[in-house]
Amino acid sequence: MHHMDSAPGAKTIIDGREVNYFCGTGYFGLQGNTKLINAACHAMQQYGIASGTSRSGFGNNAVLLDVEEKAARFFEAEQALYYVSGYLGNAILLQGLSADYEVIFADAEAHYSVMDGAAMAKKPVVRFAHCDVEDLQRKLTATLKPGQRPLVITDGVFPTSGAVAPLADYDNLLSTIEGAIICVDDAHATAVLGLKGQGSLEYCGVSGERRYSSGTLSKAVGGHGGVIAGSSAFIEQLKKHSSIPYGTSSVPVPAAAASAAALQLLMDSRALRQQLWDNVAYAKAAFRQIGFTDIPDTPVPIICLSPSAVDLGKLQQTLFDKGQVVLHVPGGSYTSVPKSGAIRVAIFSTHSKQQIDELVAEMLLGMESARCSVFAESK
């Protein structure tokens, strides 16, 4: 098992060796940011490691409230709810909204957290084909009884494929059904997609009542914990009807302070997001030049490569030996992974063009050394 010996970033020390790091979800390289670290240290000195209790009693503190205030401003909402893990966001939404729908319709490739959340909601669940609006329509027609209201839930950005859910199409479809709800697990879109970084709903141009998302501060934002933003009435509804927000311990103080500092940093400047988008466009263009022509033209910093006739595990090891770290995800081992498996490449705002060029060149050599090519099928 490999050991990470530094904070994750464009350059990371793994097993005692500095490498070009194209893994994980730290898309802005903020996990090692000095401002975040200083904020965490200062808060820890004042408040300790954690409150040691839930927020329903005496577990609130100024740091946790600061995260919620900054998250509300970031998402331009009246209020925000901050909780211990982004994984729990879907359960909070599905429990908290339980009185507002009868049947859950979930993308077949939705993240584990979606299905765990659905189980906790104790409502009927129907799976529809991955990102397939027509299949969703068929399932809605076949399942719903008169007067029943659906809740459609999906990842906004799928974690391995990098696909963006067709939220505008879902919105158009559900606009004909009174009381229909859309919920989005926005873990990989929070702070990344949309001009303001508000996620996949903003990116797809979807807004309004009954359109909700849960985000995480532990990926691109560089902190920890989950966040849901919305009207004050909506947030109070979630607190009242979900057992999770005040039934769990609060986020450790240092991580919360880092989260607040990161949100402020991202609100003060859009430069990191623009640099990320520039790097993503550059990397995707470079991979297309070596034959990966089906890479979608989106600002999503996840590039999913699945060349035919390639031993992907061997390719990952070959790249690692050359100081290029990517992730081999075997088929069927995680959500949204092609059946043949994939090499998942994560692009950061802090990567240099030279690092990206080196990765692409080594990727091509790695495939050639295995006597394989992305063009094998066409031959």
Exposure string of 128-149, with b = 16+ CB inside 10 Å and e = fewer, is bebbebebbbebbeeebeeeeb
Could you give the percent of the chain with pLDDT greater than 90? 88
Q: d(Cα 35, Cα 342) in Å, to the nearest integer? A: 35
65 pLDDT band, cuts 50/70/90, is very high
User: In angstroms, rounded to a whole number, what is the distance separating the alpha carbons of residues 258 and 222?
Assistant: 8
The percent helix, strand, coil of the chain (3-state, each to 5) is: 40, 15, 45
CB-based contact 137:169 (threshold 8 Å): no
Sign of the C-alpha dihedral, residues 257, 35, 12, 298? positive
Given a cut of 70, whether residue 371 has pLDDT beyond it is: no
Strands (E), the chain: 11-14, 17-21, 79-83, 103-107, 125-128, 150-155, 181-185, 211-216, 226-230, 302-305, 324-325, 327-329, 342-346
CA-wise closest residue to 218 among 73, 82, 55: 82
pLDDT (0 to 100) of residue 252: 96
Beta-ladder partners of 227: 82, 215
pLDDT, residue 373, reads: 43
CATH class of the domain whose range is 34-268 = alpha beta
Q: How far apart are CA 93 and CA 90, in angstroms?
A: 5
Sheet of strand 17-21, all strands in order from the earlier edge strand to the far edge = 11-14, 17-21, 324-325
Region at 102 (left for phi over 0; alpha for psi -120 to 50; beta for the rest): alpha
Q: Average pLDDT over the chain, rounded to whole?
A: 95
Q: What is the residue extent of each domain of the chain?
A: 11-32+270-369, 34-268
The residue among 226, 255, 219, 188 whose CA lies nearest residue 88 is 226
Q: What's the average model confidence in pLDDT over 270-293?
A: 97
User: At the top level of CATH, which class does the domain 11-32+270-369 belong to?
Assistant: alpha beta
Rounded distance, CA 152 to CA 150, Å?
6
State residue 377's pLDDT score: 43
Q: Note the pLDDT of residue 375.
A: 44
Note the pLDDT of residue 368: 80
Query: Using CA atoms in the order 158, 164, 165, 171, what is the torsion angle rounded to 10 degrees?
Result: 150
Task: Answer whether residue 43 shows pLDDT above 60.
Answer: yes
> Positive or negative CA dihedral for 318, 321, 327, 330?
positive
Residues 215/260, Cβ–Cβ less than 8 Å: no
pLDDT number for residue 370: 60
For the entire predicted model, the pTM comes to 0.94
Structure token digits, residue 205: 């141009």
Tell me which of 16-20, 48-52, 184-188 is least confident: 48-52
Strand 211-216 and strand 181-185: the pairing is parallel
Q: In angstroms, rounded to a whole number, what is the distance separating the alpha carbons of residues 77 and 69?
A: 10
100 DSSP 8-state letter: G
Task: State pLDDT tens for residues 79-126.
Answer: 999 999 999 999 999 999 999 999 999 999 999 999 999 999 999 999
